[in-house]
């Protein structure tokens, strides 16, 4: 199928995007119960970088249950599939009531992105606000480093 025919057949191209088309938003109880949807990459013949900046990320400390606040940045070079942004928002929202260390959060997000869209390269960076006087920055990488 050519790019032109794929672009013109929206019903087929977007048929798997259930969250974006829904008028009702359902929030998953945890990240493992949240869906992350994809759509076809029309430009799979070239490398380009997609960046998602999520400055209002929250999760819970697994020991104290206290909220942790941070920013998550996801960058990837797509192959055949791209991550749909509304499903990503809902996926990240599922961490809000989820107990997890920062290192686990970042690696869990990377694993999910890699599993659903199989990018050529990907990285997830978490910059977490200080608690107890220490800020934590975590970066996980799939494939080679992404250069700009």
Active site (catalytic) residues = 61, 68
Instruction: Give the position of tokens 């192959």.
Output: 79
Nearest to 34 by CA among 95, 107, 122, 119: 95
If phi > 0 it is left, if psi is from -120 to 50 it is alpha, else beta; for residue 118 that is left
Task: Round to whole Å and give the CA distance between 105 and 125.
Answer: 10
E strand or H helix that includes residue 135: strand 134-142
């Amino acid at each position: 199928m050519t790019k032109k025919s794929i672009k013109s057949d929206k019903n087929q191209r977007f048929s798997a995007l259930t969250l974006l088309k829904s008028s009702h938003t359902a929030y998953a109880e945890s990240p493992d119960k949240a869906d992350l949807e994809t759509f076809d990459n029309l430009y799979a013949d070239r490398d380009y970088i997609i960046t998602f900046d999520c400055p209002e990320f929250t999760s819970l400390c697994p020991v104290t249950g206290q909220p942790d606040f941070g920013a998550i940045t996801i960058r990837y070079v797509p192959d055949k599939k791209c991550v749909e942004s509304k499903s990503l928002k809902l996926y990240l929202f599922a961490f809000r009531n989820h107990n997890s260390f920062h290192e686990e959060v970042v690696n869990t997000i990377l694993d999910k992105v890699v599993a659903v869209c199989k990018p050529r390269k990907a990285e997830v960076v978490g910059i977490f606000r200080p608690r107890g006087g220490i800020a934590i920055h975590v970066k996980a990488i799939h494939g080679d480093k992404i250069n700009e």
